Structure 1
Amino acid sequence: MKNVLKHSKKGILMVIMCTAMLSFANEVPFFNIKNETSSTSLVLKRLKAGNLLSIKDSHGVIVHKEVIQATGNFSSKFDLTLLPNGAYKFEVDKGLVISSIPFTVKSGLVLFNKEEEQIIYKPHTRVEGNVVYISKLALNGEPLKIYIYAVATGYEGLLYSETIENTTNIERIYRLNGLEDGSHKIVFETEGREFIEHL
């Protein structure tokens, strides 16, 4: 009976966490952009110290990267007109959420398309003893591929793989025998990205 109550509490906590993440999905934009002749002013709201801001090109190559130093609003100016013609995006990694703001540079003109802003929710992993809890918000039912590997010195073997799709609230529980620090690795693939957790 104690185990049932314990697992019920964990399930309720995961539902509350996902509900909170859903509430962020309907918020007003977290950024403000002012495009001027030679510079672009970017204001990002509700950041925490340690969040990561980067500018990437269409191939995923990072052309600028900085760690946010203070919690609150972040403001900076960028001369994006110096970038070669092409497609780019500002990307803000806020822990469980990655937000991207796409823009293009053409002949010194910088054009933003706020309608193409993208929010990606990362998988969240929690370990208790030999049990691994995984949750992820997938608002559009985007697939999540999960690969669980056993890891030892010079060896890596696939233990289990699964693809979950057509659901907005992904929750999985796995029991891994002999779970010790560094003995397992979980690889997540979703929305063209890969996330790795070492357990």
Structure 2
Amino acid sequence: MKAFMNVMVFLMISMPLFSDSIVDPSVSVKRTSEKAFSLQVSNAVNEEVQVSIIDGYGEIVYSHRFVDEKDISRTYNLTKLPEGDYSLNVEKPQSLWIQPLAIEAGMLQIQEQALKTVFKPTIRAHEDLVDFDLLCPVNSEVKIRIFDESEEKPLYTETLETEGSLQKRFNLSQLEDGHYLMDVQINDGDQTFAFRKTIELEK
């Protein structure tokens, strides 16, 4: 579905990845005892890495930001947490790595089969052109919206099924100079992830 208001899209390429999921090899987790695990993040130099543990109600029970550490190696002890479902989130500038966890009968379970990596869209503005690049699992649904500063009504809306890699170019030459917002929602069939970026037009 598309709705246009002074926005032109004149390039679209969709390339299959032949995969249902994408894994970031720079992040790994391993159980070290009944309720503890180790986290390894490699090649994190010149990056900010946000590590969070979130419970089944969406509450953050732990969060720490690492800045400019080449290799991150930490052990986390969850003995004080009650039984239930959790997720370990590792957010990097270009991706979000999500590892579901569970504490059952006093034992930590790392649900490796449910591991997923969500790549953030790359959005680059150059004068009145905006290039959009996204890597996502096959059969994901992507919704793209562009708003002005009021965010009351989208100037452009498109929802599409992807085959893996998606590239688009937006021509915003008919819009006035100012700040605009690109809102991107990615649904992989299980969860919806939302990303936003401000675009400044100055022709």
Q: TM-score range by the shorter chain?
A: 0.7 to 0.9
One-letter code of the match for 1:41? Answer: S
Q: Which has the higher strand share?
A: 2
TM-score normalised per structure 1: 0.77
Partner of 1:6: none
In structure 2, give the amino acid aligned to 1:196: R
Partner residue, 1:4 = none
Asked if structure 1 preserves the Cα contact closer than 8 Å seen for 2:35 and 2:108, the reply is no
In structure 2, C-alpha distance between the alignment counterparts of 1:140 and 1:175, rounded to whole Å: 27
What is the match of residue 116 of structure 1?
114
Which has the bigger relative contact order, CA under 8 A and spacing at least 6? 2
Query: SS at 2:82's partner residue?
Result: coil
> Does residue 185 of structure 2 align to residue 189 of structure 1?
yes
Aligned-pair distance for 1:104?
Answer: 0.1
- Determine the C-alpha separation between the residues in 2 that align with 1:97 and 1:139: 13
The gaps in structure 2 that reach 5 residues or longer are 1-10
Residues in 2 aligned to 1:45 and 1:115: alpha-carbon distance in whole angstroms: 21
**Cα RMSD (Å):** 2.7
Q: Check conservation: 1:100, 1:119, Cα contact below 8 A.
A: yes
In the alignment, which residue of structure 2 is the partner of 1:31?
A: 28
Normalised by the size of structure 2, how large is the TM-score?
A: 0.76
Alignment partner of 1:86 is 2:84: yes
Give the secondary structure class of the aligned counterpart of 1:172. strand
**CA offsets 1:98-134 (integer angstroms, 9 cap, x no match):** 1111110124311112121101111110000011111
Deviation at 1:53, TM superposition (A): 1.0
**Matched-pair contact (CA < 8 Å) for 1:129–1:179:** no
CA distance in 1, matches of 2:26, 2:112: 9
What residue is the counterpart of 1:163 in the other structure?
Answer: 159
Change (3 A) 1:46 1:59: farther
Structure 1 spans left out of the alignment, 5+ residues: 1-10
Using a 3 Å threshold, how does the CA distance of structure 1 residues 29 and 45 change in structure 2: closer, same or farther?
A: closer
Question: Aligned AA for 1:135?
Answer: D
Percentage identity across aligned positions? Answer: 20
Report deviation, 1:147: 0.8
Aligned mates of 1:41, 1:28 — CA distance in 2: 15
Q: Matched residues in 1 for 2:124 and 2:27: separation? A: 27
Deviations 1:42-65 (A, max 9, x none): 222232441111111233322111
CA distance in structure 2 between the partners assigned to 1:157 and 1:115 by the alignment? 39
Q: Which moved more, 1:185-194 or 1:45-54?
A: 45-54
Pick closer, same or farther for the CA change 1:30–1:145 going to 2, 3 Å: same
Equivalents in 1 of 2:116, 2:24: separation in Å?
13
CA contact 1:130–1:179 (8 Å) conserved in 2: no
